[in-house]
Amino acid sequence: MPAPRSRRSGTSSRIGRAPELPPVDAEADIEVVEPPVDPEAEAAQVSAASASGRQSTKRSSRRPGSRSLEPARPLAPSEVEQQARRADLMLTVKLLLLVVVLAGAAVAVYMFGMQEPVKSKTANAALNTAQVKSVQIRKILLPPPNGNRDTVAAQTLLKEACAALNIPELEFAKDKPDEKAEKLASLEKALAANRLLKELNTEIKPSIERVERDLRAEDNYANVDGPLGRIVSLPDEQLVKLEIDFVKFLENPVDPEAGRNETYVTDYKDLVTSLRLKRIRLDQEKDRRRALVTDVPLRQAKQDAEALVKKEQFKDALAAIDELQRKFPDSKLDGVRTFVNQAAKLAWDSANVYAENNYKTFAGIGTDSQFAPEALKNAQRRMQEVIDRFGIEEYVAKGKEALARYQPK
């Protein structure tokens, strides 16, 4: 069977056979001549291709699997301007956020960094306040003209100084401050506060108390020494009271009504010795007045009454006078009876003042808790002595009324 003719051959037969080219040697060097390239045209092509790639990428990201065959178009000037504005806006927002973050960080660093200086400032101010008040107290306690020995003002300053140290920045001036305390300024400042507080309590406070005792001893001395200067003109009842006060002062210069106190006698031996040397004047006046009494019953009545008055046994003194009056009806003993009544009044006035002052000390806001109980005890004791000794109903009733008021609140 004859082989079929191909269409190529058929066509060639109709058109005509193309001339045959000589064979090409594969190893022969062939020079390829490229057409000249326009640089501007090439850049335009690259730019277009790049834009087309970006657009293609965006479209492919929106519609996965789809391929865009649309040619890239150049951006209009308005779109370029819009993109530029958007970029500027984003940059501005980022800068503002950065400024806010930096400002917040700066504030945090400032607050953290300033926390310690504020504590130190508070602690230093408190220490300085306490030290200044300590110096002021020492100056006040000096005698004139350098000071005025105003113990009330000194006590006020002492309390203010102690209160100044009682702050958390100084760990309340404790003996063993907590180094981890939140508000503690520093351990060094806390220890300094503790040392200053101890100085206030162990040196300044006893100094104030000593000046208070000095002033009381001096006042008590003046109360006895003053009447000695006019002893001749004193009524009998005042002369007896002077003798009573004289003896009490020698037993206790600071608190005569409290009984003998060896410590005070030693501390104020100069005052005690000075007054004791003046006792002769008192004895001489008593002897002079006794010599003037020639009536034996009257002399006896005065001696018995004086002895009982010194013991504050006024009712018993009046009873002794009445007994002598019955024995000696003709004797005039009314003056001795008046003497006893006047002596009882003087004793009550003195006891009442003493008790009231002690109770005021007890109830006073500024009284140290160490002395308040003792002051109350003194007030109660003196009124109980009035009740037990005086015997005269008027003063016994007053003593009971006062004692009922002198109770802890």
Of the three residues 164, 180, 212, the one that is the final residue of a domain is: 212
Q: How many domains does the chain contain in total?
A: 2
pLDDT in tens, 173-195: 999 999 999 999 999 999 999 99
DSSP 201: I
Once rounded to an integer, what is the mean pLDDT over residues 227-255?
Answer: 95
In a domain, 67, yes or no: no
Q: Which of 170, 194, 212 is the last residue of a domain?
A: 212
- The residue whose two tokens read 């951006």 is 75
pLDDT in tens, 17-76: 444 444 544 444 444 444 454 545 444 454 444 444 444 444 444 444 444 445 556 767
Same domain, residue pair 205 and 301: no
The pLDDT value given to residue 93: 81
Give me the DSSP letters along 57-123.
Answer: HHHHHHSTT----PPP-PPPHHHHHHHHHHHHHHHHHHHHHHHHHHHHHHHHHHHHHHHHHHHHHHH
Mean pLDDT of the chain: 83
Q: Which amino acid is at 130?
A: A
Question: Residue 200 falls within a domain, yes or no?
Answer: yes
Q: Phi/psi of residue 197, each to 5°?
A: -65, -40
Question: For residues 36 and 143, which has the higher predicted lDDT (pLDDT)?
Answer: 143
| CA 185/CA 126 separation, integer angstroms | 12
For residue 114, is pLDDT > 70? no
* pLDDT for the residue 364: 80
pLDDT band at 97 (very low <50, low <70, confident <90, very high): confident
So what's the pLDDT on residue 72? 58
Above 90 in pLDDT, residue 218? yes
Could you list the residue range(s) of the whole structural domain that residue 375 is in?
A: 293-409
| Cβ-based neighbour number of residue 83 at 10 Å | 11
Instruction: Examine the domain organization and report whether 186 and 95 are in the same domain.
Output: yes
